[in-house]
Structure 1
């Protein structure tokens, strides 16, 4: 009996959570797998950072994976999972790519001491893919491999949403 009452209480709270005092309703986040692609350049004008906004927001329990196109080989495109870090020969940090996210956006940015000196091959026209993974799949997939993630989530190239920034 306690379990049923608890379940009903949680259901009621979740239902009422999207109500506002004006009587209108917020659009609830959508629990779907999505892949977004953005081409961006990192420079001093944008503080070596790019913000991508989710509309509508995603669930806070979802996982956001971010990959950078680093090249291609005989098997196809090579995608690197962020964070991605490059070091000088002496082991000191040269530069890298990182990201952070909320349920409303993801920010992709570069780190390093002298980012303006980083080769334009790493700064200009970078192709980034952002994969929204529902929490139910997050533990069971190999996140290090873009190919494994896309295969496990059954995403086709035609489903990738290109975002113009």
Structure 2
């Protein structure tokens, strides 16, 4: 009997002494992070060496640790609720009559360079690949980018509608 009382006394003491301290602020349910998306339309040509430098808008702060994802609008298809945009994440490779064409990008925490790369003379390329090409540029925390999300998943995660995306005019 003494052993049981001793056990209960020790257990009660440990239980009440382990519940000390500030519990901290309450957390948020679900996924929550700061992500930004903006859109731009560019033309690639010999005059700009088939590249465009896009500076981040002043209202978007980009950190060196952030990941930059770029999506290319490749077509619009019909849907029950209206047109649906089809986005492909860069880099994207196309095999055209002239050879191999790649839409690609690189970035700093200040800007994104969108460019075409090919194993042929880009002046031979059809204007459908170069004129008025629309891109969405997303800045997200690096750990989220590891999942390589589609544009739809990205927008749903950051709780952003297509109508809220800032469109840059270059």
Separation of aligned partners in 2, 1:163 and 1:62? 21
Deviation per CA, 1:80-107: give whole Å up to 9, x if none.
1110111257xx9521100001111110
* Structural mapping, 1:125-140, within 5 Å: 125-139=132-146
Matches within 5 A, 1:12-161: 32-54=34-56, 55=58, 57-75=61-79, 76-88=84-96, 93-112=99-118, 113-139=120-146, 141-143=147-149, 145-161=150-166
Q: Would the aligned equivalents of 2:69 and 2:145 in 1 still touch at CA under 8 Å? A: no
- Once residues 74 and 158 of structure 1 are traced to their aligned partners in structure 2, the CA distance between those partners, rounded to angstroms, is 18
Counterpart of 1:52 in 2: which secondary structure?
strand
Within 1, Cα distance between the matches of 2:121 and 2:136? 25
Kindly indicate whether the alpha-carbon contact (under 8 Å) linking 1:42 and 1:48 is maintained by their aligned counterparts in 2.
yes
- Scaled by the length of structure 2, what TM-score is found? 0.70
Once the 2 structures are TM-superposed, how far is the Cα of residue 116 of structure 1 from its aligned partner? 1.4
Q: Identify the residue that residue 168 of structure 2 maps to in structure 1.
A: 163
TM-score, normalised with respect to structure 1: 0.72
Gaps of at least 5 residues in structure 1 are: 1-30
Number of equivalences: 131
Write the deviation string for residues 30-76 of structure 1: whole angstroms up to 9, x where unpaired. x8311111111000011100111123651111111101110012341
